[in-house]
Structure 1
């Protein structure tokens, strides 16, 4: 029978796998100057230039993809880093579950923070929910991925806070 701790742990890793897949699969687009990515960041940059600051808008249009891509890469590495601890635990018999849960709390918050920005830009700039570029539509897939990670990052945070509480109770009981 699966315990609550085991269910939370499995759910946590499923969420981590989804977030890392989405973030890491977008890295080549963000770092290569892909036309679709350039369209997205120049659209947002133009909006920023007219509503906030010309300099900020120009910076975002030119470097936004690299900044966001770097944040997504760092967050993916953070989320996946507990795999090293898990392997170490298997080899040494130690238990780093409390640390793994804390790392996933931080990774969930970082993921949600990044995607809160993406959701904002989809909803409140000319980018829109459905990105149109060169007569092609993404069908809203980028927006839906951003919303899913925004929500799942928060879920990851909450279930790992619960795992921290369970781990603390177990440590006190020992």
Structure 2
């Protein structure tokens, strides 16, 4: 079985969607791990006058980020399952890359750190894998995305 561009895009897309969807339980159930992550980020933001930014009702709350991850995974899966809508994989890749750019940045440049509560860096490594997958999807689907843009 050859690994064609469409098959590779499907594998990357399923990986991204899996990571995003499995994290929704933690974000939407307000798990202790989620409270730690977003609490740490909110305390960091409070240090420069933006308290509440990552709080449950904040602009970048776990619910907002989880909702964005749900949209990204829905777009990616729709583009994977409906062959004629490959552009959705690319759009989902854009969303996923943007979300993970933020996640990676917060791991690297805030007190959150690469290792979160003794996880050995697992969350950070998964974020990097999703980011790379999103960039790859974007590159693979760039012609589809540009075709929609040009037809508007």
Q: TM-score normalised by the shorter chain: which range applies?
A: 0.7 to 0.9
Aligned residues: 143
The match for 1:107 among 92, 105, 110 is 92
1 CA distance for matches of 2:69 and 2:106? Answer: 16
Give the alignment's TM-score, normalised by structure 2. 0.86
**Bigger radius of gyration among the two:** 1
Give the alignment's TM-score, normalised by structure 1. 0.76
The match for 1:126 among 111, 122, 136 is 111
The equivalent residue for 1:89 is: none
Any runs of at least 4 consecutive aligned residues in structure 1 with deviations exceeding 6 A, and if so which?
A: none
Unpaired runs of at least 5, structure 1: 87-95, 168-174
Q: Which has the larger helix fraction? A: 1
2 CA distance for matches of 1:61 and 1:149? Answer: 24
- Which residues in structure 2 correspond to 1:1-174 (within 5 Å)? 2=2, 7-51=4-48, 53-54=49-50, 57-63=51-57, 64-83=61-80, 85-86=82-83, 96=84, 100-132=85-117, 137-161=118-142, 164=144
* Offset, 1:126: 0.4
* Offset, 1:127: 0.4
* Offset, 1:36: 0.6
2 CA distance for matches of 1:47 and 1:153? Answer: 28
